[in-house]
């Protein structure tokens, strides 16, 4: 197991280098530069000497290759650069916004699991029944409705019918007021968890239908084991492998920030920070945030692989190549 973990961590390094190179080139391919994005129309009033001075200040006067190696070298030492607009180091800004995004992602995953797994399980056990039809309709609705529409409907219903406005820009952290914090995040989490619960339901249902046809399930039933035990202990546990894979992928995306939902509910998360940085040509902030997201994605995938062993003891990485 230790050898497998070491290999995965080593593989993560070239992945991060590839991501860093792609985002470094992509952000510089956008028309305009950091000077124009910072000064706006006033950038046209700069003299050549002033523009050259600003280019030296932002490090834009050096060759692109030299800029990249300087940045990646500093990033390897934990220095992701400095945000001119925010007046803070990039890493500090990311760590300020990331807890909100992490909490929102975890709440969305919990909601998706609480709704999706039982519904998928019941749909598979009661195959082609009214309950199964309801589950499939729920999945279809959840996958068809985009998050911005679900969030808008939630805000409309709460504000028009219940005279409530969820989180009008006064976000508080759980350390300050946990109850108020959960009250602010529960509706954004439902917005995100609705579509994901539909995916979890479909994955659980499909996997359960396949597992329930296996020989060992028939053997367990022939031995006289209670049906609930056959379903939950034998069938569901093996059917969760595809669901765990889906959770890992979705968790990686959620940790990358959910700009639309964060904007709808006025949440200062990592997604809003990244999109604003792109529009403002904050090179250091965009590069640092994307690199941080890629690192999270790699760590989540590694944790998912380890969770496979917990769910199914037959899986072993002791001799994995």
DSSP per-residue codes, 141-200: HHHHS-HHHHHHHHHHHHHHHS---S--S----TTT-HHHHHHHHHHHHHHHHHHHHHHH
Distances (CA, A) of 146 to 17, 142, 169, 213: 33, 8, 23, 34
What pLDDT, on the 0 to 100 scale, is given for residue 161? 85
Q: Tokens 């028009």 identify what position?
A: 160
The model's pLDDT over 249-280, given as tens digits with 9 standing for 90+, comes to 888 888 876 888 888 888 888 988 988 888 87
What pLDDT, on the 0 to 100 scale, is given for residue 314? 67
User: Model's pTM, two decimal places?
Assistant: 0.84
Q: Is the pLDDT of residue 287 over 70?
A: yes
Rounded mean pLDDT of the chain?
Answer: 84
Domains of the chain, first to last? 92-311 (1.10.3720.10)
The model's pLDDT over 48-73, given as tens digits with 9 standing for 90+, comes to 887 788 778 777 778 888 889 988 88
Contact 208, 127 (CB under 8 A): no
Residue 200's pLDDT band (boundaries 50, 70, 90)? Answer: very high
Contact 290, 19 (CB under 8 A): yes
What pLDDT, on the 0 to 100 scale, is given for residue 321? 47
Residue 219's pLDDT band (boundaries 50, 70, 90)? Answer: confident
Q: Is the pLDDT of residue 168 over 60?
A: no
What pLDDT, on the 0 to 100 scale, is given for residue 239? 84
DSSP class of 271: H
Cα(214)–Cα(234) distance, rounded to whole angstroms? 11
**Residue that wins the pLDDT comparison between 109 and 28:** 109
Q: Is the pLDDT of residue 119 over 90?
A: yes
């Amino acid at each position: 197991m230790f050898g497998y973990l070491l290999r995965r961590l080593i593989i993560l390094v070239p992945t991060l280098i590839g991501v860093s190179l792609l985002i470094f080139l992509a952000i510089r391919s956008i028309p305009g530069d950091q000077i124009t994005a910072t000064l706006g129309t006033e950038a046209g009033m700069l003299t050549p000497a002033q523009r050259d001075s600003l280019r030296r200040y932002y490090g834009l006067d050096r060759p692109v290759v030299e800029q990249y190696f300087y940045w990646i070298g500093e990033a390897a030492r934990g220095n992701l650069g400095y945000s001119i607009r925010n007046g803070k180091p990039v890493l500090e800004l990311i760590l300020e916004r990331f807890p909100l995004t992490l909490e929102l992602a975890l709440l969305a995953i919990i909601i998706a699991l609480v709704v999706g797994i039982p519904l998928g399980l019941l749909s598979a056990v009661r195959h082609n029944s009214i309950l199964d039809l309801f589950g499939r309709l729920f999945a279809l609705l959840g996958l068809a409705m985009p998050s911005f529409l679900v969030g808008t409907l939630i805000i409309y219903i709460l504000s028009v019918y219940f005279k409530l406005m969820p989180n009008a820009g006064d976000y508080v952290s759980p350390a300050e007021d946990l109850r108020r914090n959960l009250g602010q995040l529960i509706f954004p989490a439902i917005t995100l968890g609705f579509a994901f619960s539909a995916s979890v339901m479909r994955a659980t249902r499909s996997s359960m239908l396949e597992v329930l046809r296996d020989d060992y399930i028939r053997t367990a039933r022939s031995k006289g084991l209670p049906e609930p035990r056959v379903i939950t202990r034998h069938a569901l546990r093996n059917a969760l492998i595809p669901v765990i894979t889906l959770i890992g992928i979705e968790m990686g995306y959620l940790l990358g920030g959910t700009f639309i939902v964060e904007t709808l509910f006025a949440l200062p998360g990592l997604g809003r920070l990244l999109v604003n940085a792109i529009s403002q040509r904050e090179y250091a902030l965009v590069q640092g945030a994307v690199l941080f997201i890629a690192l999270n994605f790699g760590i989540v995938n590694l944790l998912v692989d380890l969770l496979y062993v917990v769910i199914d003891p037959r899986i072993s990485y002791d001799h994995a190549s």
